[in-house]
Structure 1
Amino acid sequence: MSEFALDPRLANDTRPVASLALCEVLLMNDARFPWLVLVPRRNGLVEICDLPPEAQAALWQEVNLATQALRTLAPFEKLNLGALGNIVRQLHVHVVGRRDGDAAWPDPVWGSGRAEPYGEEALARLIDRLRAALAH
């Protein structure tokens, strides 16, 4: 089995947060939205149904864990989940907290405006807080 490789586009747009049992948890580097991306560490997957049933269950457990961690740090009114893969084929799940009046509301976040990267200090603090929340 070859070593796991993250799609370069995901690597470019995100920052690593944590490794869970199945997924890498990444923070989208866009301060406009509380936004995590979970990527199962298995090469060649495109769709959720490409995972065996036990891994599908593990994926949803990890999505739930990521959602709870995100909610404690950035309360939101609505959760958007997406596994689009139209541009980046590698299986990944977006976990996005939305608020009425946010930069894209009520439209989807994908392709909405220009990303506003976190400052380095804010990014480091947020990642530390996310790691702590995911560890509980």
Structure 2
Amino acid sequence: MYKNILKELRIIATKTHKLHSKSQIKKEKALLEYKKYQLLKEGKPINEITQQIENLTTGGKPSDKFEQIFKQLHNEEKAKGSNKIKEANFNNIYTFLNSQRIYQELIERYNPGLTMDQTENIEASANRVGLKVPK
């Protein structure tokens, strides 16, 4: 049961990370580009800023703190023995996480504009009526 819960949490964490990191990276990149421009204007070296921009584009990995928590919980359960009520609670947690993930996927599939930012939404709307948004 612990492995199933961890699997669901990994899937949820990965999808959430992708969704939120995309916009966060875009903001941070714009800020670093501005700082780079300011340094160029002042005639200072830009190597450090350029390196930071390259590091941003590679992205990161979602946090695995939940995995540590469940490993600790699993070790405690092994030590104490199995309890039917606790096992049923973990089964309910797994069912809830799985259902929430599937529900979110369905919401995104049938309402694609929910996860788009404003510019993507405008471009999609223009494409629907046969227009193209100027760049």
- Coarse TM-score class (shorter-chain normalised): under 0.3
RCO (CA 8 Å, sep 6+): is it higher in 1 or 2? Answer: 2
Q: Which structure has more strand as a fraction of its residues?
A: 1
Identify the structure with the greater helix proportion. Answer: 2
